[in-house]
C-alpha cells in the first residue's frame, strides 16, 4: 500500500465504457485548445472525455507537450507471437499490402478479391505489431474460421466473443454484432483490431465497435469497399484510408481460379403466370392510385406506410409478396436445380437463395445439408468439414455463407435467388474462386424471365467480374 | 420485452405518445389479448410454428396485426416450450445427406436421381418410420418446439403487462431520459444510483424543492453524439426508476426506420404521490447492513447529536446534489445538522471529486468517510473548509466518527 497523499493526482487516462476519461487537466481549457474539438468537459463525472478511438492522438499530444501522465486506460499487451506459416507463403502483393499499411501508421484498408488471401495480410500484421489483437468478422462461420487460422498459425489459445462464448485472450475473434453490443467492456484490451469485411462497419450500430475501441492499430479487409450510401468516409475516419488495392480481373488465372458465369432463364408455368400477373396487377394498381414511385429513395417506405392504413393496402402488400415469391421460387428453377445437381454430382456446389424458407424447402426436396442462422455452430462445422472432404457434394444456404467462408474445393455456385446487391453477387462468386490446381469454377444464376427478377438480376450483375 | 416496431404510437409534431388503452383501442387490445391467449392454449402440445402461424394472420389492418403480434411476443416469452432431442434430428439428417450425396455421385444425367430410394434406404438402416421423416428432419428448429405451458393470465392481465411493456419499448429508442421526482429519499436515490452505476449510465442531478430531484440520464458517449446505444439500459432502468417514487419522465428518442428525433413523456403514479405520506416510499429501499450497524452503534453512545438516516439532499450549486447516508442533528439546536456520506473503497477519483466540491464551498457541512485503502490523507482539506474527510481502517468507528462530527460542528460555530 502506498503512502497517504495530500496532493491531487496527476493527469491520468482511464477507459470508461467506450470513452477515454482524462482526469487532472484544468477544467478551464488553459492547457491549450489543440484537442478542443475532441476532448469535452463532462460535468457528470467532472473530467475531460473523448471517444475511445482518439486514445492514440491524446497520448501523442500529452507526450508532445511534455505533460506527465498516468495511463490507466490501455490494458492491451505486448506479445511474443511466433508466426508459423503452415505452407501459407506470403505472395509479393500480400507483402506490398502489409508495407503499405505499415507506412500509413498501421491504419488503413486492404482491398483484395475474395480468394486472394486477405487473411494472410492480417496474420502478417498481427505478427508485425505484436499487440493483443481482435478480429471482427460478420458471421459465426467466419469467426470459427478465424479461430482455427489464428490457433494454427500462432500456436496459442484464441478467445471467442459471441455465439454464447465470452472468452477474452490476447488473440480474440468476435462478430460485429457482439462487438457493438459489448465493446464498452473490453475496448481497451486490444491494441490492434482487424475488421474483416470492413464494408459492414459504417452501419450506425456497428461503427460504435470502432469508436469505442482504444486500438491505435487498425486494419480493414474487404473485396468490395464501395458503399452506395457513401459511408466510406466513416471507414476512413475509424480505420484509415484504402492503402492497397487489387481488382478481380487483375488476379484471375494467376492468383484466383478461372471462372465462367452462366445465366439461365426459366419460364413460369401457365398457372404461376396467371397468379403472378394477377398479384402484380393488384399491387401496381394500389401504388399507382396512391402516387407511389419505387424509383425514389423513399418509395418502399411510402408503400409500407400507405399499405398499413387500409384493408386494400394490406391486400396490395400481400400481392406484392406473392408475385415476388412466385418469381424467385418458380417450379422451373427447382427442375433446373435437379438437373444441375446431377450434372455436377462429383463437384462441390454451393446453392444460394434469398430466404430461409427456400433453403429448407430445397434441403428437404434434394436431401442437401442446409446452413442458416438457425444452424448450431457444431453442426455448421461438421457440414463444412464434410463439404471440404467431399462426403457432402452440395450445401444450400441463404446469406450466411455469402462472405469469407474458405472452402477451396467449392467450384460450382448456383444462385437460385438473391437481392439486387452487386456486393452480394460478387461475394457469392468469390466463394468458388479460391485457387486450386486445374480448377475451373462456374456460377449459375437462375432467373425467371418476364418478371421483376430480371431487373434485379441486371442490377446485381453490374460489376466487371460479370462482364 | 416488447420491441419498438411492435408498438402503436401516435406522432404529434415532435412528440410521440402512447394512446391510452381505453375506449375503442382498449376494447381492441383486450379482444386481441383474448384471441392470443385462446390460440396459445389451443396450441399446447403442438409445434411453436402452429401458434405463430395463427398469430400471423390475426388482424385486418396493420395496427391490429401489430397489437396482436406485440401481445403474442409477450405471451410467447412467458410460455414454456419443449426442445426436441436435437441429436436424433442431426443424426437423421447426417445419414440422409451422406446417402443422398453418394447416390448422386453414383448416378448419371440419364439415370437421374431417386429421392424415394434414398429415404427408403436410410429409414431401413435406422429403423425409422418413413412417414415421420418430414416432421423429424428439422424437428430441432425453434419453430418445431412443442408448446408445453401457457401462463395462467387473464386477458386483462396480459393487457396490463402490454401497457407497461410499451413504455420500455419506446425507451429502447431513447438517447437521453430526464426524470423528475417530486418526493424521494436518500435511500431510494442511493438504490437508484447503484442501478445507474451497474448499467454504466451517467447522470446529472438538480434539486427541485425540499425533497424533489430532476435527473438527466444517458451514457458516457452521449457527450459526443446522440445514440440509441444506451436504449436497452435505459429501458431496463424502469423498475429502479419506479422504485424510487412517483415521477415524470421525458425522453429524447429516435423513432422509426428513419430514426426521427422525437420527445416522449410518461407519468408514473403522480396521483398517488400527491396523496401518499412522505415516508411511504422509503420502506421500499434497503439500508445497507454496514450503515445499519453503524447507526445502532452511534445510537448507543451518549452524545449531543441525534443520528438519523439522511432524508434530504444537499444542493451543490452548478454541480447537482450530494446524497448523504446519515444526518447528525444537534439536540440543542435542531437546525444545526452535519451530514455523513460513506464512500466506497474502490474509487480514489470519487474522493477527489468530493474534495473539489468541498473546496468550492458546500451549503451544509458534510463529513466524508474514506477507507484507508484509497490512500488519501485527511489533511487534504484545510480546517476552515465546509467539509472534512474521516479516514478509517476496515470500517468506521462510531466513537471516532462522533468526535469528527463534533470537530466539524465546532468549526461551523467559529
For residue B189, the model assigns a pLDDT of: 83
Q: How many domains does chain B have?
A: 4
Residue A283 is predicted with a pLDDT of 87
pLDDT in tens, A272-288: 999 999 999 998 898 88
A vs B, Cβ pairs < 8 A, gives 130
Contact between A170 and A176 (Cβ < 8 Å) = no
Q: Given pLDDT bands bounded at 50, 70 and 90, which one contains residue B400?
A: very high
Does the beta-carbon distance from B96 to A379 stay under 8 Å?
Answer: no
Domain that holds residue B62: 4-83+143-162
Average pLDDT score over residue span A96-115: 93
Confidence of residue B406 (pLDDT cuts 50, 70, 90): very high
Residue A299 in this model has a pLDDT that exceeds 80:
no
Q: Which of B97, B108, B141 sits opposite A368 (nearest CB)?
A: B97
Domain co-membership, A176 together with A57: no
Joined together, the cell numbers standing for residue B317 give 450549486
Q: How many CA atoms lie within 13 A of A299 on its CB side?
A: 11
Cell numbers linked to B43: 396450441
Taking CB atoms and an 8 Å limit, are A17 and B200 in contact across chains?
Answer: yes
At CB < 8 A and 24+ separation, what contacts does B189-193 make? B189/B213, B189/B244, B189/B313, B189/B323, B190/B285, B190/B323, B190/B325, B191/B240, B191/B243, B191/B244, B191/B285, B191/B286, B192/B240, B192/B241, B192/B243, B192/B244, B193/B323
Beta bridge partners of residue B195, listed in sequence order: none
pLDDT tens per residue across span A111-131: 998 778 899 999 999 999 999
Same domain, B70 and B116: no
Average pLDDT of span A453-467: 77
Q: In the structure, what pLDDT confidence band is assigned to residue A254 with cuts at 50, 70 and 90?
A: low
- How much of chain A exceeds pLDDT 90, in percent? 45
Residue A122: inside a domain? yes
Q: Is A297 part of the contact surface with chain B (CB cutoff 8 Å)?
A: no
What's the Rg (C-alpha) of chain B?
Answer: 31
Question: Quick one: residue B187, left, alpha or beta (phi over 0 = left, psi -120 to 50 = alpha)?
Answer: alpha
What CATH number did the domain enclosing A59 receive? 3.40.1170.30
Flag whether A2 is in a domain.
no
The dihedrals phi and psi of A201, each to the nearest 5 degrees, come to -60, -40
Query: What's the mean pLDDT in B243-263?
Result: 92
B282 in any annotated domain: no
DSSP strand E in B256-364: where? 260-268, 305-309, 314-316, 320-322, 326-330, 337-342
Tell me whether residue B389 is in a domain: yes
In terms of domains, do B330 and B394 share one? yes
Residues A383, A442 within the same domain: yes
Query: CB burial class (10 A; 0-12, 13-18, 19+) of residue A440?
Result: exposed
Q: Evaluate whether B362 touches B316 at the Cβ level (below 8 Å).
A: yes
Residues 195-254 of A with CB under 8 A from B: 204-205, 208, 211-212
Looking at A31-117, list the stretches that DSSP marks H as alpha helix, in order from N- to C-terminal side: 55-64, 92-103
Q: Is residue A3 part of a domain?
A: no
A295 to chain B, minimum CA–CA distance in Å? 18
C-alpha cell at A462: 453490374
Give the pLDDT of residue A196.
95
Residues A167, A179 share a domain: yes
Q: Do B97 and A369 touch (CB under 8 A)?
A: yes
Q: Map residue B40 onto helix, strand or coil.
A: helix
C-alpha to C-alpha distance for B192 and A371, rounded to whole angstroms: 45
Domain edge (last residue) among B219, B245, B276: B276
Specify the pLDDT at position B281: 39
% of chain B surpassing 90 pLDDT: 49
pLDDT of A386 = 92
What is the DSSP pairing of strand A159-162 with strand A171-175?
parallel
Is pLDDT at A422 greater than 50 in this prediction? yes
Residue A84 lies in a domain: no
Q: Give chain B positions within 8 Å (CB) of A43.
A: 204, 319
Question: What Rg, from alpha-carbon coordinates, does chain A have?
Answer: 26
At A53-68, the pLDDT tens digits run 999 999 988 888 888 8
pLDDT confidence band for B280 (50 / 70 / 90): very low
| pLDDT beyond 90 at B26 | yes
Partners of B97 in the β-ladder = none
| A260 neighbors A442 (Cβ within 8 angstroms) | yes
Task: Kindly state whether residue B384 falls inside one of the protein's structural domains.
Answer: yes
Residue B37, CA atoms < 13 Å, CB-side half-sphere = 15
Give me the CATH number covering residue A164: 3.40.50.300
Is B281 domain-assigned? no
- Report the C-alpha gap between A269 and B37 in whole angstroms: 42
3-state secondary structure of B178: strand
Q: Tell me, yes or no, whether A301 and A335 share the same domain.
A: no
- Decide if A23 touches B, using CB distance below 8 A: yes
Say which of A6, A45, A367 has its CB closest to residue B202.
A45
Q: Based on the domain organization, do B182 and B220 belong to the same domain?
A: yes
Question: Are residues A197 and A334 both part of a single domain?
Answer: no
Q: Is B215 or B110 the better-scoring residue by pLDDT? A: B215
Helices (H) and strands (E) counted in chain A, each on its own, are: 16, 19
Q: Per mean pLDDT, which range of B145-149, B194-198, B209-213, B305-309 is the poorest?
A: B209-213
Is pLDDT of B282 > 50? Answer: no
Mean pLDDT (chain A) is 86
Sign of the alpha-carbon dihedral angle for A43, A49, A50, A52: negative
Inter-residue contact B339 to B364 (CB < 8 Å): yes
Q: Across residues B347-376, what is the average pLDDT?
A: 82
- In this complex, do B353 and A40 lie within 8 Å of one another by their Cβ atoms? no
- Tell me whether strands A47-51 and A19-23 are parallel, antiparallel or unpaired: antiparallel
The beta-carbon neighbor of A342 closest among B107, B134, B137 is: B107
A322, A390: one domain: no
Confidence of residue B272 (pLDDT cuts 50, 70, 90): low
In this prediction, residue A32 has a pLDDT band, given cuts at 50, 70 and 90, of low
What is the per-residue DSSP string for A330-354? -HHHHHHHHHHHHHTTTS-EEEE-S
Cβ burial of A254 (10 Å; 0-12, 13-18, 19+) is exposed
Q: How many domains does chain A have?
A: 4
Same-domain check for residues B104 and B123? yes
A361 and A444 belong to one structural domain: yes
pLDDT digits (tens, 9 = 90+) for A303-361: 877 777 677 888 888 888 888 888 888 899 999 999 999 989 889 999 999 888 899 99
Positions of E strands within A377-461: 394-397, 412-415, 440-448
Say whether both B147 and B32 belong to one domain.
yes
Residue B324 has pLDDT above 90, yes or no: no
Length of chain B: 414
Measured CA to CA, the distance from residue A168 to residue A156 in angstroms comes to 13
pLDDT at B1 over 60: yes
Cell numbers linked to A118: 486477405
Main-chain dihedrals φ then ψ at residue B83, nearest 5 degrees: -90, 125
Structural contact between residues B16 and B10, judged by C-beta atoms closer than 8 angstroms = yes
Position B283 scores a pLDDT of 40
**CATH assignment of the domain containing B260:** 3.30.70
Q: Do A321 and A356 fall into the same domain?
A: no
Pairing of strands A69-71, B326-330: unpaired
Within an 8 Å CB–CB cutoff, is residue B396 touching chain A? Answer: no
Sign of torsion, CA A446 A451 A453 A454?
Answer: positive
Angle at A276 between CA A270 and CA A278, to 5 degrees: 105
B26/B32 Cα distance (integer angstroms): 10
Residue B377 and residue B298 share a domain? yes
Quick one: B158 and B215 in the same domain?
A: no
Q: Which of residues 343-382 of A touch B (CB under 8 A)?
A: 343, 345-346, 360, 363-369, 374, 376, 379, 382
Distance CA B136, CA B152 (A): 31
Residues A205-240 as b/e (b if ≥16 CB within 10 A, e otherwise) read ebbbbbbbbbbbbbbbbbbbbebeeeebebbeebbb
- Average pLDDT score, chain B: 86
Q: Are residues A190 and A285 in the same domain?
A: no
- A185 and A224 share a domain? yes
Q: Which pLDDT band, with edges at 50, 70 and 90, does B120 fall under? A: very high
Other CB atoms within 10 Å distance of the CB of residue B95: 17
Q: Residue B167 domain-assigned?
A: no
| Structural domain span for residue A278 | 270-328
What mean pLDDT do residues A3-24 have? Answer: 80
pLDDT at residue A34 in the model: 65
Residues A368 and A454 in one domain: yes
Question: Averaged over A26-51, what is the pLDDT?
Answer: 77
pLDDT band at residue A2, thresholds of 50, 70 and 90? very low
Asked if residue A293 and residue A190 are part of one domain, the reply reads no
3-state secondary structure of A196: strand
Q: What is the pLDDT of residue A210?
A: 96
A19/B221 CB distance under 8 A: yes
A40, A71, A102 - which closes a domain: A71
Cβ of B113 within 8 Å of Cβ of A341? The answer is yes
Q: Could you tell me if B154 and B13 lie in one domain?
A: yes
- What residues of A are in contact with residue B372 (Cβ under 8 Å)? 4
Which among B288, B319, B299 has a CA at the least distance from the CA of B395? B288
Interface test mutation site (partner B, options A4, A363, A365, max chain B beta carbons within 10 A): A4
Residues 6+ apart with CB under 8 A from A123: A83, A88, A149, A150, A153
Phi-psi region of A169 (alpha: psi -120 to 50; beta: other; left: phi over 0): beta
Segment among A96-100, B135-139, B210-214, B241-245 with least mean pLDDT: B210-214
B360 pLDDT more than 90: no
Residue B192 has φ and ψ, to the nearest 5°, of -65, -45
Instruction: Categorize the per-residue pLDDT at A9 as very low, low, confident or very high, splitting at 50, 70 and 90.
Output: low
Mean pLDDT of B168-196: 89
Closest CB to B257 among A301, A313, A379: A301
Strand order across the beta sheet in which A11-16 lies: A40-42, A47-51, A19-23, A11-16, A69-71
Q: Give the single-character DSSP code of B284.
A: G
Amino acid at each position: 500500500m502506498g503512502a497517504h497523499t495530500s496532493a491531487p493526482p496527476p493527469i491520468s487516462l482511464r477507459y470508461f465504457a467506450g470513452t477515454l476519461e482524462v482526469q487532472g487537466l484544468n477544467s478551464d481549457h488553459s492547457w491549450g485548445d489543440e484537442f478542443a474539438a475532441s476532448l469535452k468537459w463532462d460535468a457528470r463525472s467532472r473530467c475531460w472525455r473523448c471517444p475511445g478511438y482518439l486514445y492514440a492522438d491524446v497520448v501523442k499530444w500529452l507526450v508532445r507537450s511534455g505533460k506527465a501522465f498516468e495511463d490507466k486506460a490501455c490494458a492491451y499487451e505486448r506479445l511474443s507471437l511466433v508466426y508459423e506459416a503452415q505452407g501459407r507463403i506470403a505472395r509479393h502483393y500480400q507483402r506490398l499490402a502489409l508495407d503499405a499499411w505499415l507506412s500509413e501508421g498501421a491504419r488503413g484498408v486492404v482491398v483484395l478479391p475474395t480468394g486472394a488471401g486477405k487473411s494472410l495480410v492480417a496474420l502478417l500484421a498481427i505478427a508485425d505489431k505484436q499487440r493483443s489483437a481482435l478480429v471482427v468478422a460478420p458471421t459465426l462461420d467466419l469467426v470459427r474460421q478465424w479461430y482455427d487460422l489464428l490457433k494454427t498459425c500462432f500456436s496459442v489459445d484464441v478467445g471467442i466473443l459471441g455465439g454464447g462464448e465470452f472468452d477474452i485472450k490476447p488473440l480474440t475473434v468476435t462478430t460485429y454484432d457482439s462487438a457493438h453490443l459489448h465493446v464498452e467492456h473490453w475496448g481497451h484490451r486490444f491494441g490492434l483490431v482487424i475488421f474483416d469485411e470492413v464494408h459492414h462497419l459504417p452501419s450506425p450500430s456497428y461503427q460504435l465497435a470502432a469508436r469505442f475501441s482504444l486500438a491505435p492499430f487498425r486494419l480493414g479487409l474487404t473485396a468490395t469497399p464501395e458503399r452506395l450510401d457513401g459511408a466510406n468516409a466513416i471507414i476512413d475516419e475509424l480505420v484509415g484510408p484504402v492503402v492497397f488495392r487489387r481488382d478481380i480481373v487483375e488476379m484471375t488465372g494467376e492468383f484466383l481460379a478461372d471462372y465462367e458465369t452462366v445465366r439461365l432463364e426459366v419460364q413460369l408455368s401457365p398457372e404461376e403466370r396467371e397468379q403472378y400477373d394477377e398479384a402484380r396487377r393488384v399491387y401496381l394498381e394500389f401504388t399507382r392510385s396512391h402516387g407511389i414511385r419505387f424509383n425514389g429513395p423513399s418509395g418502399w417506405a411510402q408503400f409500407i406506410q400507405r399499405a398499413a392504413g387500409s384493408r386494400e393496402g394490406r391486400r396490395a402488400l400481400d400481392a406484392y409478396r406473392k408475385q415476388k415469391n412466385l418469381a424467385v421460387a418458380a417450379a422451373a428453377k427447382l427442375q433446373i436445380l435437379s438437373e444441375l445437381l446431377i450434372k455436377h454430382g462429383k463437384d462441390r456446389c454451393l446453392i444460394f437463395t434469398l430466404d430461409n424458407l427456400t433453403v429448407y424447402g430445397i434441403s428437404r426436396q434434394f436431401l442437401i445439408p442446409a446452413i442458416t442462422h438457425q444452424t448450431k455452430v457444431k453442426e455448421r462445422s461438421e457440414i463444412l468439414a464434410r463439404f471440404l472432404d467431399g462426403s457432402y457434394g452440395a450445401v444450400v444456404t441463404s446469406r450466411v455463407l455469402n462472405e469469407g467462408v474458405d472452402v477451396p474445393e467449392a467450384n460450382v455456385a448456383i444462385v437460385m435467388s438473391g437481392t439486387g446487391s452487386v456486393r452480394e453477387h460478387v461475394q457469392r462468386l468469390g466463394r468458388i474462386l479460391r485457387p486450386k490446381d486445374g480448377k475451373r469454377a462456374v456460377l449459375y444464376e437462375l432467373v425467371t424471365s418476364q418478371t421483376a427478377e430480371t431487373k434485379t438480376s441486371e442490377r446485381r450483375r453490374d460489376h466487371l467480374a460479370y462482364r | 420485452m416488447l420491441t419498438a416496431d411492435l408498438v402503436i404510437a401516435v406522432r404529434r409534431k415532435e412528440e410521440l405518445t402512447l394512446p391510452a388503452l381505453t375506449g375503442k383501442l382498449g376494447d381492441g387490445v383486450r379482444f386481441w389479448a383474448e384471441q392470443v391467449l385462446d390460440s396459445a392454449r389451443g396450441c399446447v402440445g403442438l409445434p411453436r410454428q402452429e401458434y405463430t402461424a395463427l398469430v400471423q394472420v390475426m388482424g385486418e389492418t396493420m395496427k391490429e396485426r401489430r397489437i396482436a403480434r406485440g401481445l403474442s411476443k409477450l405471451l410467447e416469452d412467458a410460455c414454456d416450450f419443449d426442445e426436441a432431442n436435437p441429436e436424433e434430428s442431426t443424426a437423421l439428417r447426417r445419414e440422409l445427406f451422406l446417402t443422398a450425396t453418394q447416390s448422386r455421385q453414383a448416378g448419371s444425367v440419364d439415370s437421374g436421381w431417386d429421392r424415394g430410394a434414398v429415404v427408403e434406404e436410410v429409414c431401413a438402416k435406422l429403423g425409422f418410420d418413413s412417414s415421420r421423416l418430414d416432421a423429424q428432419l428439422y424437428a430441432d428448429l425453434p419453430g418445431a418446439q412443442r408448446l408445453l405451458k401457457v401462463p395462467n393470465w387473464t386477458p386483462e392481465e396480459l393487457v396490463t403487462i402490454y401497457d407497461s411493456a410499451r413504455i420500455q419499448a419506446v425507451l429502447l429508442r431513447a438517447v437521453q431520459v430526464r426524470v423528475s421526482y417530486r418526493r424521494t429519499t436518500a435511500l431510494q436515490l442511493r438504490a437508484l444510483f447503484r442501478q445507474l452505476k451497474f448499467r454504466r449510465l451517467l447522470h446529472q442531478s438538480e434539486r427541485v424543492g425540499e425533497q424533489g430531484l430532476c435527473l438527466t440520464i444517458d451514457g458516457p458517449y452521449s457527450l459526443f453524439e446522440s445514440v440509441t446505444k444506451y436504449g436497452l439500459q435505459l429501458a431496463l432502468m424502469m423498475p429502479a426508476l419506479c422504485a424510487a417514487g412517483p415521477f415524470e419522465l421525458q425522453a429524447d428518442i429516435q423513432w422509426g426506420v428513419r430514426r426521427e428525433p422525437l420527445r416522449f413523456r410518461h407519468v408514473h403514479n403522480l396521483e398517488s404521490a400527491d396523496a401518499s405520506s412522505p415516508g411511504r416510499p422509503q420502506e421500499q429501499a434497503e439500508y445497507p447492513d454496514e450503515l445499519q450497524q453503524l447507526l445502532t452503534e452511534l445510537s448507543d453512545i451518549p452524545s449531543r447529536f441525534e443520528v438519523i438516516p439522511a432524508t434530504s439532499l444537499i444542493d451543490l450549486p452548478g454541480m447537482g446534489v450530494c446524497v448523504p447516508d446519515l444526518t447528525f442533528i444537534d439536540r440543542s439546536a435542531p437546525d444545526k445538522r452535519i451530514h455523513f456520506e460513506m464512500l466506497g473503497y474502490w474509487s480514489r477519483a470519487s474522493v477527489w471529486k468530493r474534495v473539489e466540491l468541498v473546496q468550492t464551498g458546500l451549503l451544509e457541512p458534510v463529513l466524508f468517510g474514506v477507507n484507508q485503502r484509497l490512500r488519501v490523507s485527511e489533511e487534504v482539506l484545510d480546517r476552515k473548509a465546509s467539509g472534512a474527510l474521516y479516514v478509517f481502517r476496515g470500517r468506521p468507528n462510531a466513537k471516532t466518527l462522533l468526535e469528527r462530527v463534533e470537530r466539524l460542528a465546532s468549526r461551523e460555530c467559529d
